[in-house]
Amino acid sequence: MSKTRLLMIGNGMAGVRTIEEILERDPDKFEITIIGKEPYPNYNRIMLSNILQNKMTVDETIMNPYEWYEENGIQLITGDKVVTINRDAQNVETESGRVVEYDQMIIATGSDSFILPIDGSRLDGVVGFRTIDDTEKMIETAKTKEKAIVIGGGLLGLECARGLVDQGMDVTIVHLAEWLMEVQLDRKAGGLLKADLEKQGIKFELQANTQEILGEDHVEGIRLSDGRVLDADMVVMAVGIRPVTKEARAAGLEIGRGIVVDDFMKTSDPNIYAVGECAEHRSKVYGLVAPLYDQGKVLADHITGRPTDGYQGSTTFTSLKVSGCDLFSAGRITENENVRGIETFNGVDNIYKKIFVQDKKIVGAVLYGDTEEGNRFYNMMKKGDTTDEYTLVSILHKAGEVDAISVADMDDDETICGCNGISKGVIVKAIKEQGLTSVADVTRVTKAGNSCGKCKGQIGELLEYALGDDFVESAPTGICACTDLSRDQIVTQIRAKGLKTSKEVRHVLDFKDKGGCPKCRPAINYYLNMVYPHDHEDERSSRFANERYHANIQNDGTFSVIPQMRGGVTDADQLIRLGEVAKKYDVPLVKVTGSQRIGLYGVKKEELPKVWDDLGMRSASAYAKKTRSVKSCVGKEFCRFGTQYTTKLGIRLEKTFEYIDTPHKFKMGVSGCPRSCVESGVKDFGIIGVENGFQIYIGGNGGTDVVKAEFLATVPTEDDVVKLCGAYMQYYRETGIYAERTAPWLKRMGFDQVKSVVLDPEKQEALYARIMDAKAAVAEEPWNDIVSDAHKRKIFEVEKV
């Protein structure tokens, strides 16, 4: 049986995504041909601004390389435009004279930049901002020209202007409205955006109408309607887009603003469909990628015979990331009799948030400076959730009393990647079933994050949520894609320039993403804590979720609570409290952990503060990149083979170094004899009691890749063990890369180098003094900010007893 000939005109994001969806549903149904007018395979048009801003190359924007077309049996024709659609003969003719026949056709011609019909608009130096060629033309022009004018203060114009500044040009944005991005932002947010962009060197002419473009053969400037003339060597038109419908109109298809389609993306010809920016659905044309992908899914279902309710339209959102200007907009953002706004403005950090509510439901949102809650508001809008259970305005709550919604709290059907419509459940399922361990893996398998990329932070959180420590360990150590600087360069600059906050580090050291990412935010926070143990205020929001909650997220979204039991030693009172709390909160599992503690598993997030209050016990550092508990055997005190008092030493080590940040978790074990019942030989710092003292082993790892520890030295006394441990830990703190265990650190530094440093009496003394200074700083801080002051008082009272 011969295959149905499916022809697609257009090789852009919406069209190719539709083909991908079709192939997923029925890879053998069609013989597919794609014709694209540009000489490239399918690329990510959203990322053109990143090319202009020197963040990406053209190759990095390619979404489907030529090999993908070959692997899927698709005939690809590039650099050749369709000029005629012959509906009766069911074929098309291209600019080169090629004739291609079809049984069914999809028109996905997208849109072109709208060029203002004013005098001078055809001069050399006037460009749109729509294609790779447009982008490369601007980059080439910037090499020899100085002044650029961008007409249009919308999303595209702002991203273009920032890129031209990065290319070294003097840039002015000319915008007709009273404030920037007036369709997506209210006046307040538009003003904040303008002020931030002015600091970056962009100039603005608002409420300015371009009358004509001046020049003989090449652009020399523009004249405004008020008579003023602005000099320019290049003019970029970023005033909107226009659906490409010329060939469809000539073929007699019904045309409005775009090619008119029904709910199944069918045009007025039953054999022809349209999808993407060229399509008009229910009198609306969409210019954002998320609704276009929604259309592609519906069309794929329909054309492969799957049941579908059809396309019902989309709730759209907009986000912008231009050198630290972080904004989010969704839905309706104007107030009237029925729609009321609720807003907050933090002038200290320049954070503005406003939601628009109708009948207790969010119908719109504008966020500026902190967009972390954007997806949450967007999901509430789509699901029609009410605001009944929420405090509408909150100010000056202590850390921990009002906490950001984490991915653990999200329902599986909530959207993570708005561009591609990928939910939390889809991502978590892929992580677990396909063994994904990086953001890049998730993007490759699920497509989440491969459009605008702004959801990659939440994808990272989902990996942490699903994999725990394995996510960090599987990720490459170092800093991240936000900067080319190494760990050593960053720490050196922190010290040399006196940088005291993560925001200062990212801005002064010119990170590509001034907001940071899930890898660099906790890393920089650690480096600052290490460099300035007393002067840096720990940035709780930069820590991983487990550290923030002092509890470990489980696979069902509940948490494990692990109270401290130094050296694995407990007493009757602690056991009674643990039992009472387990009963009171109906804890599903009470278990002795592998680190000689008792854990409560299955605790709900909202119960965490109450659980800690009732326990009256300190949190063990069982979740953080800190000194973990010290395992010990009973040693000489009870065991007939024991040679040293190990439990006492284990408790002393834990009390001496507890709560000190380290690049990764730092585990210790104290065994009373060479039988090593606590596996001291696979610990970061292992101790084995012998007749003449204590053997010290370093750099072991009992994780996925077991690494045997290296023998360092034998020392005679407990005091020597503690001092050597402190020196070794501090040297690791000062030279380790964040998220690097001691095993790879020791290999990178060299065992002989580490040995020469920590066994040198003078250097050992200095290192120990510095780690004790770090410990003093930890003691000064509220160590467990998720629980109440009353709970802390109770703990200290218990400890005094």
Environment class of 224 (CB within 10 Å of its CB; exposed 0-12, middle 13-18, buried 19+) = middle
Environment class of 177 (CB within 10 Å of its CB; exposed 0-12, middle 13-18, buried 19+) = middle
State which residues of the chain have pLDDT below 50.
398-403, 473-477, 780-788, 790-801
Tokens of 786: 């998720």
pLDDT of 614-629, one tens digit each?
A: 888 877 776 778 888 7
Q: In what order do the strands lie in the sheet with 210-214?
A: 210-214, 221-224, 229-231
Q: What per-residue confidence (pLDDT) applies to 324?
A: 58
Q: What's 61's DSSP letter? A: G
Q: What per-residue confidence (pLDDT) applies to 475?
A: 42
Q: How many residues does the chain have?
A: 801
What span, in angstroms and rounded, lies between the C-alpha atoms of 321 and 159?
A: 8
- Whose structure tokens read 């339209």? 313
- Whose structure tokens read 């008092």? 645
What span, in angstroms and rounded, lies between the C-alpha atoms of 469 and 522?
A: 14
Backbone angles phi, psi at 42, to 5 degrees: -65, 130
Q: What per-residue confidence (pLDDT) applies to 794?
A: 43
Environment class of 159 (CB within 10 Å of its CB; exposed 0-12, middle 13-18, buried 19+) = buried
Is-contact 251 85, C-beta < 8 A? yes
* DSSP calls for 325-393: EEEEEEE-----SS-EEEEEEETTTTEEEEEEEETTEEEEEEEES--TTHHHHHHHHHHT-BSTTS-S-
Q: Which domains does the chain have, with CATH numbers?
A: 4-111+243-303 (3.50.50.60), 126-239 (3.50.50.60), 407-475 (1.10.10.1100), 476-543 (no CATH), 547-615 (no CATH), 627-780 (3.30.413.10)
Q: Which residues on adjacent β-strands are paired with residue 670?
A: 632, 687
Residue 407 Cα to chain centre, angstroms: 12
Between CA 246 and CA 253, with CA 247 as vertex, the angle to 5 degrees is: 95
773 C-beta neighbours (distance < 10 Å), count? 12
Residue 167, helix vs strand vs coil? coil
Q: What per-residue confidence (pLDDT) applies to 450?
A: 75
CA atoms within 13 A on the CB side of 329: 22
Is-contact 723 685, C-beta < 8 A? no
What does DSSP say about strands 147-151 and 126-127: parallel, antiparallel, or unpaired? unpaired
- Residue 316: C-alpha distances to residues 291, 350, 365, 457, 528 (Å): 7, 25, 11, 20, 39
pTM (predicted TM-score)? 0.66
pLDDT of 319-338, one tens digit each?
A: 655 555 778 888 888 888 89
